Chains A and B, each alone.
Chain A
């Protein structure tokens, strides 16, 4: 048996199901991980098609469900989807900017059994939040936070961290504390899609990062037992790559708005790989038999230095999308790894990040026109 045709016994269930209900979003965040060419995807799945995906995935063992986007609340069937998900036994997480949320919708979501809401902020002040998302949404988000608390949900706040807001970390954490957050996710930007295009603007300096970590650790100590702070470091500053999505085709199945099934939400960018669509195949066929999901399972696809590396089982060679973006080969070692022959690309990006300079290329906001121009 070759590694590429693993049998279904060897493959675990897709425990995590992520539904990207739509790529539409009123926000225009400069670090968005949706594909650059999102504007070309128009044919969204219908409610019935999403419900079928839910049933098929649950039968395979999916249990954690993410409803994301774009902004999922731009669809008027999030309630119907959450209702069916609850009936099937999913733990349902809504990942939202808050745009489109009302008290009425929240009551209905609560009633049908939505388990948790993750609300995103871009920064701690109206000026920066509204600049980074290119929308006037700061006050709306604060209102949403209040409603979420009122409805008895755990309060989960997410803020993507990068060069332009990392120095405000103290006031970002302070804001989350004042909101009564139970969990705060401070996710340093990972450089894919729009964030990759804007990397020169977004990658923090080492000094910024160290200061931020100290600030975070002090708050973590202070809020022990009251608020859980999750801090995701930018992997460019690591010596070994991350075990991306817990391993290709091991845990996560993402369904894009048009029904394309992906082993991770950015895998769509990889050339030469065909990903199946839930409109044409069952999720069982997709998960166990499709070329797209089998391509990077196991170790058989690895090249040197990964193939003979003693740490290959730990990090699985890192992230395939990052290998493609930085080494132009999706089967190469993730260049974040210091053993990668392409590691110099990461080192050079880090060196530029230590200088105080204004990048030549302008900051590109994630909007329809830019999507069509850049794809």
Chain B
């Protein structure tokens, strides 16, 4: 995945807020992952419109922190290897 890619949640997979679990979860065929806050904040921005670069700057301003890029890119790689994301080329 490059910084210009626009990742999106793969078809058939759903990101959803679950009040009972007080967490975002990722739902897929016969399975579910409960997401921690940072994973959820990243995945919520994977809408196929924003580039990796834009996701990084969006999160940096939302959480008022710099230097998040390595952490975010690492997570996106993991998420992609899990089959949660597809990355449309820009």
Q: Could you list which residues of chain A lie within 8 angstroms of chain B, going by C-beta atoms?
A: 13, 15, 60-61, 63-64, 66, 89, 91, 93, 115-116, 118, 152-154, 156, 182-183, 228
Contact = CB atoms under 8 A, between A and B. Distances in A.
Interface residues of B, number: 15
B20 A154 contact: no
Contacts of B28: 91
Contacts, number: 45
Interface stretch (B11-19, B42-50, B70-78): B11-19
A13 B83 CA distance: 27
Interface string B11-48: 11010101011000101111110000000000000000
A245 to B, nearest CB: 13
Contacts of B31: 64
A91 B18 contact: no
B11 A118 contact: no
Interface of B: 11-12, 14, 16, 18, 20-21, 25, 27-32, 83
A115 B21 contact: no
A153 B16 CA distance: 19
Contact of A118 (B16, B25, B29): B29
B25 A63 contact: yes
A156 B29 contact: yes
Q: Which of B12, B16, B25, B30 lies at the interface centre, i.e. has the most chain A CB atoms within 10 A of its CB?
A: B30
B12 A116 contact: yes
The 4 closest A-B pairs by CB, nearest first: A61-B20, A91-B27, A154-B12, A116-B29
